[in-house]
Amino acid sequence: MADHDKLLQRALKFIKPYRVTDGKKFRLKDVDPGDTAGFKAEDKPRAKEALADGVTLLAELQDKLYAQDQWGLLLNFQAMDAAGKDGSIKHVMSGVNPQGCQVYSFKAPSAEELDHDFMWRCLKNLPERGRIGIFNRSYYEETLVVRVHPEYLAGQKVPKKLITKRIWNERFEDIRGIERYLSRNGILVRKFFLHVSKKEQKRRFMERLDNPEKNWKFSSADAKERGYWDAYMEAYEDMIRNTATPEAPWYVVPADNKWFSRLVVAAAVIEALDSMSLHYPQVSEAKLKELEIARKILEKKE
C-alpha cells in the first residue's frame, strides 16, 4: 500500500466515531470531551508524529486542489472559549500554502452587517474554487450566542412579526439549504465542534490568568459566559441535531487533549480533500509542443 493510502486509512479510523451525518439520535452527553480513541498520555509522541504525517499529506492534497481549481472546501469551527480553535487551525494548516487558504474570524456584527441578513457577512467570504476557507466561528453563532442571549436578536433589526417560536428551526432550515447548495456547486462543507469540558475550560482560563504571556488571551466576558454553560450545551446539541447532514457533517471533536483534537481535525480535512479525487491538470498536446519549444530555447548555449 502506498504511503498516501496508509496515511489516508490512518486518518479515516480517527474520524468515524466523531462524524455526525444524521443528528436525529445525537446526544452531546454521549461524547466524552476527554476521549482519545485509545491513545494514552505516553502515546502523545506517536500522536504528534501521526499529525506531522497528516500535515504532509494535507499539503499534497491542497496543492492539487489549488492547481485543479474546481473544488473548494469550507471549514467551520465552533466551540466554547479556550476549546482550542486557534491552535487547531494553526497546527493542522501549518503545511498549507498561504495562497490557497483563507481564514476569517467572526465576532460581534458591525452596524453594516446588522443591516443585512444573518448569513451575509459569511457568504461574502466563502472560499474560491481551488482554496480552503476557514471560518473561526461562523453563521452558526446566530443559533448559539444569539439564542442564549435573546437581547442580541432584539438588536438585529429583524421585523418583530418574523421573530416567532420557530425562528431557530427556520434558521436551521435555511442553513441546511445553503450548505446543500454549496455542496452541489463544488464547495464542500465540514463543521467542527471542539467539545471541551467545563473543568478543562476552567483550567485553561486559570493558566491564562497565571501566565503573564497569556494574559492577553483572557477577557472577563469569558468568565461571565461560563454562567450560561448549560444553555450553550443545549444550544450546541440542538444545532448539531438539526444541521448534521451527509453533505455537510459535523465532527464533534473531544477537545480536553489538544494533541488529540488536532489529530481528528486533520484527519477530517484529509478525508474531505481525498473525496474530491484531486489531480494536477492534464496538459494538452498543444501545450506539450509549446513546452518542448521552450526547452529547446533554454538548452541553447548563450
Q: CATH number of the domain that 87 lies in?
A: 3.40.50.300
pLDDT tens track for 73-91: 999 999 999 999 999 999 9
pLDDT at residue number 54: 87
pLDDT at residue number 4: 61
Domain count, the chain: 1
pLDDT at residue number 302: 60
pLDDT at residue number 1: 37
Give the structural domain span for 171. 3-299
In terms of C-beta density within 10 A (0-12 exposed, 13-18 middle, 19 or more buried), how is residue 115 classed?
exposed
**Residue type present at position 79:** A
Q: Which stretches of the chain drop beneath a pLDDT of 50?
A: 1-2
pTM above 0.85, yes or no: yes
pLDDT at residue number 2: 46
pLDDT at residue number 49: 86
Per DSSP, the residues of 28-93 read: GGGS-TT--TT--GGGHHHHHHHHHHHHHHHHHHHHHHHHH-S-EEEEEEEESTTSSHHHHHHHHT
Using DSSP's 3-state secondary structure scheme, residue 187 falls into: strand
Using DSSP's 3-state secondary structure scheme, residue 278 falls into: coil
pLDDT at residue number 301: 61
Sign of CA dihedral 99, 100, 104, 110: positive
In terms of C-beta density within 10 A (0-12 exposed, 13-18 middle, 19 or more buried), how is residue 19 classed?
middle
Place of cell 427556520: 170
Element (H, E) at 275: none
Place of cell 457568504: 123
The span from the CA of 295 to the CA of 1, in Å, is 36
pLDDT at residue number 202: 95
Per DSSP, the residues of 202-216 read: HHHHHHHHH-GGGGG
